[in-house]
Amino acid sequence: MPPAFYGLLLGLLCVTVPALAETIYVSNERDNTISVIDGSSLKMTATIAIGRRPRGIALSRDKAKLYVAVGDDDRIDVVDLKARRVESSIPSGPDPEFFALHPDGQRLFVANEDNNLASVVDLSRPAVTREIEVGVEPEGVGVSPDGRLAAVTSETTSMIHVIDTQSLELVDNVLVDTRPRMVLFSPDSKQIWVSSELRGTVSVFDAQTREPIGKIGFEVPGVPRELVQAVGIQITPDGTRAYVALGPANRVAEIDARTFKVLRTYLVGHRVWHIALSPDGKRLYTANGNSNDVSVIDLENRRVIKSIGAGRSPWGVVVAP
């Protein structure tokens, strides 16, 4: 082959294709801010001012906006991620703590902690179109990927409340372990996972029958049992692994989601609250409320690779591609 061909081939081999850089967004409960972290450099690159006491956060379906529950202002702030500023606010009912976006991208299901209600917000109006009575101190909210069911935890009642998202009727109340926090449906919509803060467990239920199918307990050597508090949950898209934040135990547990066996734990920052998987499933990011930072776990190599300073009391975390 002519030398020119080899020169062209060498040039092609030397071209570096840039990786898609993900962006991590973290709500800081005491700072009234959102920290913006670049996934390539793993450095905080911006801070977005937000309403008072931001906690639950979620990306819009097109990933162009960030919805943030600002509990002390009784609303959901909408952040334009390109401009990195609040573009509008929408009603949510009093003291929104956590919420979930329906797969249709048009509705939010919101836990209103102060008045024992779950509010349904129509984003096209925007307005609260339905209020559903649930238990005392609702917090966690999950919507099944198939869009058929929503579930809300109530901390004081120790229940999950299952809602038909079509009729918006309450269809079941299920007793769970003490002080449930997070509720999450499996990727195939067949299971409901619920964390119990005070018992330090995760219970798994059949989503259709609500019958229990498993319970996961956690032990961390050298950590008192009362400090092992299960809170945030994430499940990989293929349904093979689950990750659970263990609060003041300063650990994240990795679980075989088919056998419910705890495989290992990762030491992260202080009082890990919520967690988020990267779009490619290779990293897990943790919001550490008492150390004011975010831990980055390399899941392929099974190690924590970075601690990134955030604002005061990081609470929620999401990752955008």
Q: How far is CA 273 from CA 55, 128, 300, 310, in A?
A: 11, 28, 22, 14
Residue range 215-259, pLDDT digits in tens: 999 999 999 999 999 999 999 999 999 999 999 999 999 999 999
131 φ, ψ to 5°? -120, 130
Residue 181 vs residue 21, higher pLDDT: 181
Could you tell me the two tokens for 51?
């309403």
The whole-number average pLDDT for the span 6-13 is 40
User: CA–CA separation, 287 vs 273, rounded Å?
Assistant: 6
pLDDT score of 316: 98
pLDDT score of 21: 82
pLDDT at 4 over 60: no
pLDDT score of 25: 98
User: CA–CA separation, 255 vs 152, rounded Å?
Assistant: 23
The whole-number average pLDDT for the span 76-105 is 96
pLDDT at 15 over 50: no
Confidence of residue 300 (pLDDT cuts 50, 70, 90): very high
